[in-house]
Structure 1
Amino acid sequence: MQFVVFKLGEEHFAVETEKIQSINDMMIITEVPNSPNYIKGLINLRGSIKSLVDINLLLNIVSEKKQNNIIILKLYEEEIGISVDEVEEVIEVDEINIQNLPEYTTENYIKGIINLDGKLFTVIEIEKLLNK
């Protein structure tokens, strides 16, 4: 399986590449009045308007770092953007190398942990996180 690894604060997360449409640099965000706090706003990506979600709020991560990238995801026939501090790399991992966490210790959107060369990556089931 292939994963895109990105940083939020000091933590590393991974999402399956099959869910990702594109990775873009940060762009102009148009705020939407009275929208939920996790919606950063709307972006115009090559003439197509997409919602941009602040994934830090959904994961309860406080980061003072500047968000440099937007990952466009295709979920349920809809494209949505998430803002991240930095997209770092694409990794290839066998599914047997994803360590499951005990059910009582995880949120339902965490698929498991990848330990690669001493670095830990939290694998997120992005649909479950965004439906939270």
Structure 2
Amino acid sequence: MPYETRGLDGADSAPDGPIAPANNELADPQSLKEWAAAYARSVVAPSAGADAEFILFRLGEERFAANLDELDEVANVVGGIAVAHASSLVIGLTNLRGEVLPLLDTGALLDAGSSVSIGASNRTLVVRDRRGRRSGLPVDAVIGVANLDPTTFNLYPGRRGHGLIGRLGIAEHDDAALTLVDLSPLRRDTLDQF
């Protein structure tokens, strides 16, 4: 029986055709390598090999890349208020040009060793969910925008993170590690759970 795989959106995104022989026999290494490469392309990029624009940001000492198409905007948020009895993933609320914006703990969502304190030098990645509600992901700094080929990232065996966003893979960029981040669950889900 072939293995069952699910893509980021829960749909079966494995390449067509069997990936391993039936009866629990092992597939040859070359077949598995080809299947893994095809699966990675289907998960990471709709058009394999095509460069896409990514925003590069820093949390603590770690550098991350998120697809620019998944963001509404990058905002300068300098303050906010704490919310009693909210989820530990919500660090507070802020007013962004008249809109109340929940600020999520980006470090906790990415299992990063650092937590962000809101200040004048920080930036906030603003994401809109499928119901049109926006939330903010404060980061220590925005490094810039780069055209990257998503297929060059070495994918993690499993999606790592807190559920609303997560780490997909890692690559070397500008002589340092760069972690690919998936924001699509935050865009797809709603913030009702907070």
TM beyond 0.5? yes
TM-score range, shorter chain: 0.7 to 0.9
- Counterparts in 2 of 1:129 and 1:21: CA distance versus 1, 3 Å: closer
Structure 2 partner of 1:107: 160
Q: Deviations over 1:2-37 (max 9, x none)?
A: 111111110011111001111122322021111011
Note the residue ranges of structure 1 that are not aligned, 5 or more in a row.
none
Structure 1 partner of 2:106: 55
The 8 Å contact of residues 116 and 139 in structure 2, kept in 1 or not, is answered as: no
Larger radius of gyration: 2
Structure 2 partner of 1:118: 175
Identity of aligned residues (%): 25
TM-score normalized by the length of structure 2: 0.59
Q: What CA distance in whole angstroms lies between the structure 2 residues aligned with 1:129 and 1:120?
A: 24
1:91 aligns with 2:142: no
TM-score normalized by the length of structure 1: 0.83
Q: Superposed, which structure 2 residues align to 1:1-132 within 5 Å?
A: 1-63=52-114, 67=118, 68-76=122-130, 77-101=132-156, 103=157, 106-107=159-160, 109-128=166-185
Higher percent of residues as strand: 1
CA RMSD, Structure 1 to Structure 2 (Å): 2.3
Higher relative contact order (CA 8 A, sep 6+): 1
Query: What is the deviation of 1:64?
Result: 7.0
Q: How many residues are matched?
A: 129
Q: What CA distance in whole angstroms lies between the structure 2 residues aligned with 1:120 and 1:129?
A: 24
More divergent stretch after superposition (59-68 vs 113-122): 59-68
Q: Deviations over 1:84-111 (max 9, x none)?
A: 111111110123222223x15x527322
The 8 Å contact of residues 24 and 70 in structure 1, kept in 2 or not, is answered as: yes
